[in-house]
Amino acid sequence: MKDFAALFNAVDQTTKTTVKVAALAEYFTTASEDDRLWTVALFSGRRPKRAVTTTRLREWASEASGVPLWLFEDSYAIVGDLAETIALVLPPVESDDSGTLTSWINALRGLKDVDDTARKEFVLSAWQQLGGTERFLFNKLITGGFRIGISQKLMTRALSRATGRPEAEMAHRLMGNWHPDDVTWHSLIEAEDASADASRPYPFYLAYALEDGPEGLGDPSDWRAEWKWDGIRGQLILRDGDYFVWSRGEELMTDRFPELARAADHLPPGTVLDGELLVWQPGAEFPSSFNALQARIGRKTVPKKLLKEAPVVLHAYDLLEWQGEDIRHRPFAERRALLEEAAADLPEDAPVRLSPQHQFTDWAELATLRETAREAQAEGLMLKRADSPYLSGRKKGDWWKWKLDPLTIDAVMIYAQSGSGRRANLFTDFTFAVWNGNDLVPFTKAYSGLTDAEFRQITAWVRKNTQQRFGPVRQVTPHHVFEIAFEGIQPSPRHKSGVALRFPRMLRWRKDKPLQEANTLDDLKEMLRIYG
């Protein structure tokens, strides 16, 4: 664990990307292969399952440190991270650890087979052996939450430097449903046949947001435009007589969309499509709202009734592999032409459709088209340079998302809750309400959108204007109005207001607006009627 702790300190104590990459590259060169493999797994979200409940960990840490549980809980609320809180309250010790990262992970995974007494004995013993950063990392491993600020891009750069292989190849190798139990360092990173796993997707190419309009992009004829659909981005892979569906978040979703299996009836093996998963009713001009798709997202087994009520299609907008050949290096216009050729003979009831491109002669014409996006259940437009290759990750220059301005509503803050991490001493999470007659009805929560200075101002006000406390939540005097921005609205019987918002955030603190001029529940319901 000492080598892994040294790596963590090296990347945690600098903001310079070059220093982080150098530290990671050295570790990937010098550490044991098993430790390297687990490090890549941890940094890419493949962490071991939680071995002990957080309730037990808090109780044991309180007991081992002599800190009363109520004081430990208050400390946790301020620190905002359980692993760090435990590491801080326990008495300091000199590290007496010779175990490797892999040996500690294997020991933790073995806890599932023992009783609570044995688990407690193991954890207390580990806390006595491990000091400083090693103890903190052990706590991270045991809680199953391992986010320490190493991006996938940074890790692929480090692997590229350590192995001498291209970054794009490293990014591709790390995609898919692999686990350290099923691969070795050599088979994952170094073996020549990195495409042996038929289910492996390609890294997704991500667009930058276009903030000020497309006029600065140059000649409109160099660009292609299509709807930015409001669905789930996914790759459909047809290889070796099977099909696989991957989300942008590297989640294998094949079982959730069984209707896509029929794509193999119309497209040849060795085909990989990039597109949008949408609920689309037969004969409908436009897709259903995202709300309809949500019914499918959380279901790993889909009943026949739901398949009929919410049929999913893939609207394909790019072709990444054709006849078994990776064609991502080819220009977008060429890939698109091949995609159109492949989709030309698809029957109307096929589970794959071609996402249409929009014809335009100038930017003004495209701006007019963009304003109609919500009518098509789209979020705006995608702009792609005709000669752009399909890259990996977020690259600026060739792909842009030109989204519609968000929907907005003015609401009253009625509850406040403290944040976590560096904002643990500030109130940052708020509940908002609209008027229904003389009553304020809560309808959404938001925690982003204000500056640090504004969070400090509202925190000082909350402390002076608290009416009641409910655990970490404070009910405050209705006074402040905020403009809430959001991307969509849908009915929700679980909410008192009857509506739920998508991606709500605070756009502005309306200090100029009196409490009585906030919007009403009727205003929300009218927005639901128009945009829901």
Q: What is the model's pLDDT at position 425?
A: 79
Q: Are 433 and 440 in contact (CB under 8 A)?
A: yes
User: Torsion angle of alpha carbons 273, 274, 279, 280, nearest 10°?
Assistant: -60
- H or E stretch at 378: strand 378-385
Return mean pLDDT, the chain: 91
Average pLDDT (524-532) is 89
Q: How far apart are CA 15 and CA 20, in angstroms?
A: 8
Tokens of 342: 């492949």
Q: Are 463 and 520 in contact (CB under 8 A)?
A: no
DSSP labels for 456-519? HHHHHHHHHSEEEEETTEEEE-S--EEEEEESEEEE-TTSTTSEEEES-EEEEE-TTS-GGGS-
Q: How far apart are CA 134 and CA 167, in angstroms?
A: 30
Instruction: Give the model's confidence band at 51: pLDDT under 50 very low, under 70 low, under 90 confident, else very high.
Output: confident
Q: How far apart are CA 45 and CA 49, in angstroms?
A: 11
Handedness of CA 372, 376, 381, 386 (dihedral sign): negative
Spatial CA neighbour of 152 closest among 179, 170, 165, 177? 170
User: What is the radius of gyration, based on Cα positions, of the chain?
Assistant: 26
pLDDT in tens, 491-520: 888 889 999 998 999 999 999 999 999 999
Q: What is the model's pLDDT at position 249?
A: 82
Higher pLDDT among residues 194 and 338, named by residue: 338
Give the angle subtended at the CA of 422 by the CAs of 420 and 427, to the nearest 5°. 55
In residues, how long is the chain? Answer: 532
Q: What is the model's pLDDT at position 148?
A: 65
Q: Which sequence spans correspond to the domains of the chain?
A: 2-143, 205-403, 407-531
**Highest mean pLDDT: which of 46-60, 234-248, 324-338?**
324-338
Q: Going by CATH, does the domain composed of 205-403 fall within 3.30.470.30?
A: yes
Chain centroid offset of residue 159 CA: 23
Q: How far apart are CA 225 and CA 386, in angstroms?
A: 10
Q: How far apart are CA 492 and CA 291, in angstroms?
A: 10
| CATH superfamily ID and name for 407-531 | Nucleic acid-binding proteins (2.40.50.140)
Average pLDDT (316-333) is 97
Chain centroid offset of residue 249 CA: 6
- Three-state secondary structure readout of 318-358: EEEEECCEECCCCCHHHHHHHHHHHHCCCCCCCCEEECCEE
Q: Residues 6 or more apart from 279 whose CB is under 8 A from it? A: 231, 287, 288, 292, 293, 296, 310, 311, 312
DSSP labels for 67-95? --HHHHHHHHHHH--HHHHHHHHSPP---
Lowest mean pLDDT among 79-83, 479-483, 525-529: 79-83
Dihedrals phi, psi of 444, to nearest 5 degrees: -160, 165
Tokens of 222: 């160099």
Q: How far apart are CA 513 and CA 517, in angstroms?
A: 7
Name the residue with tokens 């890294």: 203
Spatial CA neighbour of 472 closest among 422, 426, 413? 426
Q: How far apart are CA 272 and CA 489, in angstroms?
A: 33
Higher pLDDT among residues 146 and 277, named by residue: 277
Name the residue with tokens 């994952």: 188
**Highest mean pLDDT: which of 146-155, 298-307, 355-364?**
355-364
What percentage of the chain exceeds 90 in pLDDT? 65
What is the end-to-end Cα distance of the chain in Å, rounded?
Answer: 52
Tokens of 62: 């309180």
Lowest mean pLDDT among 256-265, 396-405, 414-423: 414-423
Tokens of 212: 């000020």
User: What one-character DSSP code corresponds to residue 52?
Assistant: S
Chain centroid offset of residue 248 CA: 9
pLDDT in tens, 333-348: 999 999 999 999 899 8
Q: How far apart are CA 495 and CA 490, in angstroms?
A: 11
CATH T-level assignment (fold) for domain 2-143:
DNA ligase i, domain 1 (1.10.3260)
pLDDT above 80 (res 196): no
Q: Residues 6 or more apart from 203 whose CB is under 8 A from it? A: 168, 171, 172, 175, 392, 393
Q: What is the model's pLDDT at position 193?
A: 59
Q: How far apart are CA 264 and CA 270, in angstroms?
A: 10
Lowest mean pLDDT among 21-30, 93-102, 212-221: 93-102
pLDDT in tens, 282-316: 989 999 988 889 888 877 788 899 999 999 999 99
Instruction: Give the model's confidence band at 13: pLDDT under 50 very low, under 70 low, under 90 confident, else very high.
Output: confident
Q: Residues 6 or more apart from 516 whose CB is under 8 A from it? A: 435
pLDDT in tens, 438-470: 999 999 999 999 998 999 999 999 999 999 988
Q: Please, which residues bridge with residue 252 across strands? A: 246
**Highest mean pLDDT: which of 80-89, 97-106, 146-155, 269-278?**
269-278
pLDDT above 70 (res 195): no
